[in-house]
Copies of this chain bind each other. A is one copy, B any other.
Amino acid sequence: MAKKKQITIDDVAARAGVSTATVSRVLNGMNHKASLDTRTRIRSAVEELEYRPVRVGRALSMMQSPTVALLTPDTTNAFYASIADAIQTGTRRIGKAMILCNTREQAILQDAYIEEMRSHLVAGIALLGAVPSPGLERALADDMPIVFINRKSPYRADRPFVGIDNYAAGGDVAKHFMDRGYYPISVVRGPWDSSASRERFEGFRDALAASGHPIDPARVYDSDLSMESGYIQAEQLLSGPAPARAVFCANDPVAYGIYRRCGERGLSVPDDVALFGFDDNPLNEWLAPWLSTVSVPSVEIGTRVAKLFAGSGMASAREHPEQCIVPYQMVIRTSA
């Protein structure tokens, strides 16, 4: 893209009086194979010429580009954005750039991006909020280096994964509700496709059942994880003869939506209804400092994901798929 003519590895080699092969080796840190003299000559040639490798040359040669793709369901969700940011920072540290793709939870888009990223020869794909799709299944069969974030792979459960133990967290929320004696209890869960949403719900449900107070199926609502859907479901949740005393929300935005409806209805949180969120969205600090939630360590997750892509394309992770379960934290504020 520069207008100036490119300075190539050949220019460096010429200036240093060695072959391009040697320059390449030295620049790639195979120092044990070059004499000190050679190395210093090369270093200064690089300096003087201000040589910057064209990464595409290397990419073609190695059939792998120094890039990683992040597929995310919603770029404007602050929680996802925070994970994205950590991944970008982390991949940069290992010399790779991050391509951002917005799948919008759509299987079609997800497949299109997987295919495109393959043709970009990316070193790996970080799949945040995976959705079942034929292209994903195929990519997995082809052994593409994909690491799943937050939601596990819908196809091969043993694929690399970074996230929390959602089942346990759901159970913890249930216990908290029981400790407080809230009754009746409702839940607004996320999409069933999502292992994260599903496991949260299952953990919550099982813990309630285990304590002898199984949840009433009529008190289970669905959402698409948006504020809007929380707002909409709140209408049912809060009405009828036995409105919910406490609600376990699929994520924080859902809680925001319900909270808004509470305000419109003149209901007090937590006196009339208790709300429990999930993720500890970065917005909470400023916009919902009252929200009790499960804190998911987005930065740590992003950092871990990036690390998986270090070296040449997750070859190791591919052979020894890692399930990296990071700790979550119960954050009890005033809403529950």
Residues of A within 8 A of B (CB): 1-4, 6, 52-57, 59-60, 63-67, 69, 75-76, 78, 81-82, 84-85, 88-89, 92, 97-102, 115-124, 142-145, 227, 256-257, 260, 282-283, 286-287, 313
Task: Tell me, in angstroms, the Cα distance from A56 to B88 when the chains sit together.
Answer: 21
Q: Which of B67, B144, B260 contacts A2 (CB 8 A)?
A: B144
Minimal beta-carbon separation of A53 from chain B (angstroms): 6
B84 contacts A75, C-beta separation under 8 Å: yes
Q: Which residues of B contact A118 (CB under 8 A)?
A: 1-2, 52
With contact pairs A57-B60, A76-B82, A287-B256 given, residues A98 and B97 touching in the complex (Cβ less than 8 Å): no
Q: Which residues of B contact A101 (CB under 8 A)?
A: 88, 92, 97
- Stoichiometry (number of copies): 2
Minimal beta-carbon separation of A19 from chain B (angstroms): 21
Closest to A66 in B: B120
Closest to A59 in B: B56
A76 contacts B282, C-beta separation under 8 Å: yes
With contact pairs A56-B59, A59-B56 given, residues A120 and B97 touching in the complex (Cβ less than 8 Å): yes
Give the 6 A-B CB pairs with smallest separation, nearest first.
Answer: A100-B100, A3-B143, A76-B81, A75-B85, A227-B286, A97-B99
B3 contacts A142, C-beta separation under 8 Å: yes
Q: Which of B2, B100, B282 contacts A142 (CB 8 A)?
A: B2
In addition to A57-B60, A75-B88, A97-B99, 14 A-B residue pairs with Cβ atoms within 8 Å of each other are A1-B118, A2-B142, A2-B143, A2-B144, A4-B142, A6-B63, A76-B82, A78-B78, A81-B81, A92-B101, A97-B117, A100-B100, A227-B286, A283-B287
A260 contacts B282, C-beta separation under 8 Å: no
Q: Which of B55, B63, B81, B286 contacts A119 (CB 8 A)?
A: B55
Closest to A4 in B: B142
Q: Which residues of B contact A55 (CB under 8 A)?
A: 119-121
Closest to A3 in B: B143
Closest to A53 in B: B119
Closest to A67 in B: B99
Task: Tell me, in angstroms, the Cα distance from A98 to B69 when the chains sit together.
Answer: 10
11 pairs from A and B in contact (CB 8 Å cutoff): A1-B63, A1-B64, A1-B121, A2-B142, A2-B144, A3-B143, A54-B121, A56-B59, A67-B99, A97-B120, A100-B100
Task: Tell me, in angstroms, the Cα distance from A55 to B257 when the chains sit together.
Answer: 43
